Amino acid sequence: MSSAGLQVTLRVLAVSHESMRVAYAVRNASSTPVLVLDRRWDPALEALDPAWVEVDLADVTAWLSRMHVVVPPEVLLSEPRLPYGRVLDAGAVSETELTVALPLQERGSLDAVYEQGPVEGDAGLTSVDALLMRVGWVAMPSVDTLPPESRDEVVIEGERLHWLSKEFLDEAQRVARSEPVAVTLVGRLRGSIA
């Protein structure tokens, strides 16, 4: 499915008892480069986090997301974790593989902010029949359209990246999402304990 320039497709590659391996492809259908917001630095690893993915469960659908999470105004975070903008040239396609632990555990960037009481046993389990992928992105007709602090490109692990501020991402991010993929999985809601 496209979002005015970025198209996302999702495939399930393998499912085992402990994990699920998926691949998502992003295609820049526009005539100018875009910044795909699907890479995030992990200070503990001192590398890009290959396992980073947000998981949201709604009804029987699981949303896997790699994007900037807008922090509500009432929440104060001293150092929000921000994704880098990865350059994807016009017409280019890039595929990324992820391994996600099963059962799917609802999790996200703001989990530590909100206190959630534990839900024990089967009370926190839900069936998941559809899987979708959301990917954040920013239009970049030229580097000059970025804020001055974001114009310098850095290369990390062979990828061309731009650091983007929270304020810029809050305003500029667009979100593309895939079509649903049929699955038969179990998910565990936030606050649940195994």
Give tens-digit pLDDT for 154-171: 999 999 999 999 899 999
Query: pLDDT tens digit string along 30-52?
Result: 999 999 999 999 889 999 999 99
pTM score: 0.87
Backbone angles phi, psi at 71, to 5 degrees: -85, 125
What rounded mean pLDDT belongs to the chain? 87
Say how far apart CA 62 and CA 64 lie, in whole Å.
6
State both tokens at 47: 């590398």
